[in-house]
Chains A and B, each alone.
Chain A
Amino acid sequence: MGKRPPVVVLSSSSDEDEGRGRRAASRGPSARRTRTPATAPPPAHATSGSRKKARRVGSSGRGRRRAAGPAPSGSLKAEFDMLSEDFSECLNDLGMAGSICQTEELWVEKYKPNLSSELAVHKKKVEDVKKWLEEKLKAPKGTFGGWTLVLTGQAGVGKSATIKALAPELGVEICEWTAPVPTLWTEHLHANSGLRYISKLEEFENFVEKIRKYSLLSPTSIGSQRKLTIVLIDDIPVTSGRVSFARLGKCLTGLIQSTQVPTVISLTQYHKTENNDTATWNSEDLESLLQSAGARKIAFNPVTTNSIKKILVRICKKEGSDLTEELLHQIATSSGGDIRHAIMSLQYYCLNPRRLNSALTTTTILPVLKSSGTLVPVQDDYGFSYVISTACGRDETLSLFHALGKFLHNKRDTYVNVAVDVDSFPLKEKLRRNPHKMEVPEKILSQAHGKVRTVADFLYENVLDFIDNDAIDDAWTVISYLSEADCLLAGSPISSARWMVNESYESESMTQLIAASVAARGVLFGNAHVSSSRWHTIRSPRVWQIEQSFRSRKDLILRERYDCSSTSGSRNFADIVTEFKPFERWISPCNDISRSNSVDHNVEASSSEEEEIEDW
């Protein structure tokens, strides 16, 4: 990965760019200066950068902000800046400008827990961390390894807050690594994010190097009277691509093995669905890597609704706002265990209580009208959390499962409604279905926020469980619909552009929608004989695992290919797999051992069958 030359920035001065440059100039320094490549941009640059960024993120849709936020963002501070921009922008849209003062602190910052007792995290976890830290601080210097703690969990469950709250109690100093702020904004616009990540990675490497040196020096130079320190690595640079991931891994492993200062790495877990592609950064890979390097791991669970509620109530009291109990409950549930998010939503709604109330009334009225008095609590719940999550939400994977459940269980009205369509449309008996006991599938899908690919994969993985064991016809119908959906998803067969999702994203979105509804409705329609309603766990699609291990396997074979065939030219991949490999196994039995070692670890469940194949 080479550095992109600065020429690109300078040369790419199209009209559009010029205009933006000027706008940036009106806010801060001159356009010329903004363009000059600077290694350490002055703060004015940074703010103008994040301002722009906030615009961009804000306009790309509120619902996505959460998902988009953590991945490319710089430090947390920058993220908050960006969000506060966003808030004020929202309010400007509503014509409420001025009701919030720019300088007002965000509540998340304001009510940051200062004592460990204030933490919303489960007591036991806090205790664990505390114990570990105490132990390490007392432990004698000079031992290698075991100095690292990895905290994992979803975004906003209070990983770093725990450390920050514990540190003053233990009387230690925190030496924190924060990601550098995004560099030039023009550069950011032109370069795809690749560039920034790399520079981040480099900076991270430098930091790690410093720590290692520091920790090696400290015992001799300062001795025992020095102040105790904890190193906190909050935001591991997001890497893209195998090469840089390997670099990061190496760097971290080195750190873990050599450091002699208690080091805490907090690692945000993204959902697997977001990055099932090997090319992107995989938090689980990193986690296992860290652990194998000898780090201790403490996993943080999402904060429970009750604790969130308690915190919210406390903040409400201090702020003197009078949100109803019910409302707080809704905010707490919809946050999905993300305390930071919950506080954000709270602040947002406190700014404009009327808005919330109106939202509340509209959504509650609707189901009332619909179900004529019999208000099902679940439905109400769902509708409401939907409102909140669209207003300032995060991706709700929970509701993805909810939607899947609806499709799979395929509840229909049980009474036979013959009178309606017999005269108008002589439908075949085979094709008639009772009306759904749910909303339009497309609506559920849009609520679920899931990617279509994900939905299709989940449906495929699980649908067979829900089909009656005699109804193989139905199974075929369902799967053929899914196969159609897959074709739609793959896009046109001729263009290879389908891989570059970004380029053709706009035109594809329609196909995506259609594919989703083909998949969902296909499942609903095809499954005419639902198996009796039992409890099924929803499995996550194995296709992902399979594809991953398939790729790694293929790489392996491709790499091996040239070793064995240097004399006779290369061979076709298909030939190797179908012909050479099996024969090689017979002809030279020693190959067997090396091969069975190479069986991918991802497929543990299938390893027994794997053995079977090997044996023949």
Chain B
Amino acid sequence: MLWVDKYRPKTLDKVTVHDQVAQNLKKLVAEQDCPHLLFYGPSGSGKKTLIMALIKQMFGAGAEKVKMENKTWKIDTGSRTIEIELAMLSSTHHVEMNPSDAGFQDRYVVQEVIKEMAKNRPIDAKGKRAFKVLVLNEVDKLSREAQHSLRRTMEKYSASCRLILCCNSSSKVTEAVRSRCLNVRVNAPSEDQIVQVLEFIGKKENLNLPFGFAARIAAQSNRNLRRAILFFETCKVQQYPFTSNQVAPPLDWEQYVAEIAADIMKEQSPKRLYAVRQKLYELLVNCIPPESILKKLLAELLKKLDSDLKHEICHWAAHYEHKMRLGSKAIFHIEAFVAKFMSIYKEFLVSTFG
């Protein structure tokens, strides 16, 4: 088991990083009435942990017995029948799923699947907790239509079903949905907090951490707690006892992007552009999200540039990332960005060095 899972706080009381949020959630549970919730925050900040702990707080240990099922839904849209296969995790009290996995059919998933689930009121003998909790991940990846139908579902079935939505950027969730939820912002832990968590894990695992080691990992992790713990475990696997100046190896895809950046800086020509394209394909095949590629590429390029150029480059990165959303083939746009950079940079070189 990965340390990330092993040392995940299981109850709201044990949550260390967001203790304030956890206390508030506890109050909510104590009041017996829980509104719809929307958790948002950057990745690796602990949204999922909080949600799981919250569910446990609500339903007790019963919520921990989850089973995975691949359910196929048949949806009649009038003109034809669509089949959607969707994996979900469910316990007696809650169901968790990623509706955006259904891709462009997410609208139907939200409309039908959730409706159906919300209609099935859980039966319980003791007459308490007469509602089910539905956890929806990656709400920001849902299409507009899906979000719209979500909002109706929320109102209609609020008696029997509570939604817990989870997303990275709340800008991409429509106002209508946001305003119907209690928004919970989960900020990324600060580096100090990460250090604390790492030291806590180190103690539990009986590891000997040299001075400054945890801080270095924390700095490398970019305020992403999950990444930090993964780095930590990697270091442990690679070399233990830790040496005083040990660093975790960079992520392979990030390394690859850095290499692309170096390529771009070295030569600016259509031929090189073509070579870069092949490398970008490589990344895309490995399912690295294109926007991550673009962001990382930008970060790598920014490291090596003059301030004037930086403005220009980040403008174009934003421009092409936007285009990428509008278009359907990411590679076109990433490459356009690369080409633009090459063009600017070459001009810069010529004007500076003659």
CB-contact partner of A483 in B104, B320, B343, under 8 A = B320
Instruction: State whether A562 touches B68 (Cβ < 8 A).
Output: yes
Instruction: Report if A472-B233 is in contact (Cβ < 8 Å); known contacts: A490-B327, A546-B285, A606-B278.
Output: no
Which residues of the partner chain A approach B178 to less than 8 Å between Cβ atoms?
none
In this assembly, does A365 line the interface, its C-beta being within 8 Å of a C-beta of chain B? no
Binds A, one of B111-119, B138-146, B188-196, B304-312: B138-146
> A566-B68, A577-B287 in contact; A586/B336 too (CB < 8 A)?
no
Q: Is the CB of A568 within 8 A of B287?
A: no
Which of chain B's residues 17-66 have a Cβ closer than 8 Å to chain A?
43-44, 48, 51-52, 66
Given A496-B104, A496-B106, A586-B249: A567 in contact with B226 (beta carbons within 8 A): no
Chain A contact residue count (CB 8 A cutoff) = 73
Min CB distance A269 to B, Å, is 26
> Is B332 close to A, CB under 8 A?
yes
Residues of A within 8 A of B234 (CB): 583, 586-587
* Residues from chain B with Cβ under 8 Å of A475 in the complex: 270, 273, 339, 342-343
Chain B residues lying within 8 Å of A567, measured Cβ to Cβ, are 1, 5, 66
Which of B233, B285, B335 makes the CB contact (< 8 A) with A553? B285
A570–B96 contact, CB under 8 A? yes
Contacting pair B339 A487 (CB below 8 A): no
CA distance A482 to B339 in the complex (A): 12
CB-contact partner of B51 in A460, A484, A569, under 8 A: A569
B73 proximal to A (CB < 8 A):
no
For A579, list chain B residues within 8 Å (CB): 44, 226-227, 230, 251
- What is the minimal beta-carbon distance from B201 to any residue of chain A, in angstroms? 14
Which residue of B80, B168, B289, B342 is within 8 Å of A472 (Cβ)? Answer: B342
Chain B 258-279, CB within 8 Å of chain A: the 1/0 string?
0000000000111101100111
The answer to the question of B253 belonging to the interface, with a C-beta cut-off of 8 Å to chain A, is: yes
A487 touches B343 (CB 8 A): no
Collect the chain A residues with CB atoms within 8 Å of residue B48's CB.
568-569, 571
At the interface, yes or no: B125 with Cβ under 8 Å from chain A?
A: no
Given A469-B271, A472-B273, A569-B48: A486 and B233 within 8 A (CB)?
Answer: no
Is the Cβ of B273 less than 8 Å from the Cβ of A486? no
Q: A462-501 interface mask toward B, CB cutoff 8 Å, 1 = contact, 0 = none?
A: 0011011111110110011011101101100111100110
Which residues between 107 and 138 of chain B lie within 8 Å of chain A, taking CB atoms?
A: 107, 135, 137-138
B243, CB-defined interface residue at 8 Å: no
**Would you call A192 an interface residue if the criterion is a C-beta within 8 Å of the partner chain's C-beta atoms?**
yes
For A473, A476, A613, which residue has the most chain B Cβ atoms within 10 angstroms? A476
A113-155: CB near B (< 8 Å → 1, else 0) gives 0000000000000000000000000000000000000000000
A500 neighbours in B (Cβ, 8 Å): 104
Q: Nearest B residue to A606 by beta-carbon distance?
A: B282
Closest A residue to B146 by CB, please name it: A496
Is A578 touching B336 in the complex (CB atoms < 8 A)? no
User: A616 at interface (Cβ–Cβ under 8 A)?
Assistant: yes
Tell whether, in the assembled complex, residue A464 and residue B80 are in contact, meaning their CB atoms are under 8 Å apart: no
B233 close to A600 (CB less than 8 A): no
Mask: chain A, 544-565; 1 = CB below 8 Å from B; 0 = not: 0010011001100111011001
Interface members, chain B 302-335 (any A CB < 8 Å): 320, 323, 325-329, 331-333, 335
In whole Å, how far is B176's beta carbon from the nearest beta carbon of chain A?
14
| Cα A543 to Cα B331 with chains together (Å) | 8
Chain A residues within an 8 Å CB radius of B285: 546, 549-550, 553, 600, 603, 606, 610
Asked if A558 and B87 make an inter-chain contact with CB atoms under 8 angstroms apart, the answer reads yes
B137 touches A572 (CB 8 A): yes
Give min CB distance, A134 to chain B, whole Å: 47
Do A570 and B320 touch across chains, with their CB atoms under 8 A apart? no
Task: Give the distance in Å from the alpha carbon of A573 to the alpha carbon of B101 in the complex.
Answer: 9
CA distance A351 to B255 in the complex (A): 69
B200 contacts the other chain (Cβ, under 8 Å)? Answer: no
Any A CB within 8 A of the CB of B284: yes
Tell me the A499-551 residues at the B interface (CB within 8 Å).
499-500, 542-543, 546, 549-550
Decide yes or no whether A575 CB sits under 8 A from chain B. yes
Smallest CB separation, A238 vs chain B (Å): 17
Chain B residues closer than 8 Å to A609, beta-carbon distance: 278-279, 282
Contact string against B for A residues 572-607, beta-carbon threshold 8 Å, 1 for contact and 0 otherwise: 111101111011011100000000000010010010
Least CB distance, A549 to chain B, in whole angstroms: 5
- Tell me, yes or no, whether A194 is within 8 Å of chain B by CB: yes
Scoring B residues 228 to 269 as 1 if CB is less than 8 Å from chain A, else 0, what string do you get? 001101100110000000000101110110000000000011
B75-116: CB near A (< 8 Å → 1, else 0) gives 000011101000101000000111001011011000000000
Once bound together, how far apart are the Cα atoms of A480 and B336, in whole Å? 5
On chain B, the residues within 8 Å of A487 by CB distance are: 323, 326-327
What B residues does A565 contact at CB under 8 A?
A: 5
Say which residue of A464, A542, A572, A586 sits within 8 Å of B138 (CB atoms): A572
Distance in angstroms from A461 CB to nearest chain B CB is 9
Instruction: List B contacts of A192 (CB < 8 A).
Output: 79-80
* In contact, A469 and B137 (Cβ under 8 angstroms): no
Contacts of B67 in A (CB 8 A): 566
Instruction: Tell me whether A574 and B252 are in contact (CB under 8 A).
Output: no
* Residues in B neighbouring A558, C-beta threshold 8 A: 87, 101
Given contacts A496-B107, A574-B292, contact A460 B332 (CB under 8 A): yes
Residues of B within 8 A of A496 (CB): 104, 106-107, 143-146
B8 CB-CB contact with A under 8 Å: yes
Q: Which residues of B contact A465 (CB under 8 A)?
A: 270, 274
Closest partner residue, chain A, to B97 (CB atom)? A570
Say whether B182 faces chain A, with CB atoms less than 8 Å apart.
no
Given A486-B328, A490-B327, A479 contacting B52 (CB threshold 8 A): no
- Assembly CA distance A587 to B249 (angstroms): 12
Instruction: For the complex, give the distance between the alpha carbons of A561 and B83 in Å.
Output: 21
In the bound assembly, the distance between CA atoms of A195 and B30 in angstroms comes to 54
Chain A residues within an 8 Å CB radius of B81: 2, 4
Known: A550-B284, A570-B137, A586-B237. A476 touches B252 (CB 8 A): no
A493 / chain B contacts, CB cutoff of 8 Å? 325-326
- Per-position binary interface string of chain A over residues 1-27, scored 1 when its CB falls under 8 Å from any chain B CB and 0 otherwise: 110100000000000000000000000
Minimal beta-carbon separation of B92 from chain A (angstroms): 16
Q: Give the docked Cα–Cα distance between A494 and B146 (Å).
A: 11
Contact between A577 and B233, CB atoms less than 8 A apart: no
Within 8 A of B (CB), among A387-432: none
Q: Measured between alpha carbons, how far is A192 from B96 in the docked complex, in Å?
A: 34
- Alpha-carbon gap, A144 to B135, bound state (A): 54
A562 and B137: CB pair below 8 A?
no
| Pairwise interchain contact A566-B66, C-beta atoms closer than 8 A | yes
CA distance A490 to B104 in the complex (A): 13
How far apart sit A467 and B137, CA to CA, in the bound complex (Å)? Answer: 45
Cβ–Cβ contact B252 & A613, under 8 A:
yes
Q: How far is the CA of A493 from the CA of B328 in the complex (A)?
A: 9
B281 within 8 A of partner (CB): yes
> Residue of B at shortest CB range from A599?
B285
Q: Is B346 an interface residue (CB 8 A)?
A: yes
Q: B340 contacts the other chain (Cβ, under 8 Å)?
A: yes
The answer for the CA separation of A580 and B44 in the assembled complex, in Å, is 12
A2 to B75, CA, bound (A): 12
Is B138 a contact partner of A479 (Cβ separation < 8 A)? no
CA distance A490 to B284 in the complex (A): 19
Q: How distant is B95 from chain A, measured CB to nearest CB, in Å?
A: 11
Residues of chain A contacted by B51 (CB below 8 angstroms): 569
Q: Does the CB pair A467–B270 fall under 8 Å?
A: yes
Tell which of B8, B98, B253, B270 touches A568, judged by Cβ atoms closer than 8 Å: B8
Q: Knowing A192-B80, A464-B270, A566-B66 touch, does A479 contact B332 (C-beta < 8 A)?
A: yes
Which residue of chain B lies nearest to A575 when distances are taken between CB atoms in the complex? B43
A-B contact pairs, 23 of them (CB 8 A): A191-B80, A464-B271, A465-B270, A470-B269, A475-B270, A476-B339, A483-B327, A486-B323, A486-B333, A487-B323, A495-B143, A496-B107, A546-B285, A562-B89, A569-B51, A569-B89, A573-B101, A574-B289, A574-B292, A575-B226, A577-B289, A587-B234, A609-B279
Known: A2-B81, A549-B285, A587-B237. 7 other contacts (CB 8 A): A553-B287, A562-B68, A566-B67, A572-B137, A577-B286, A587-B2, A616-B255
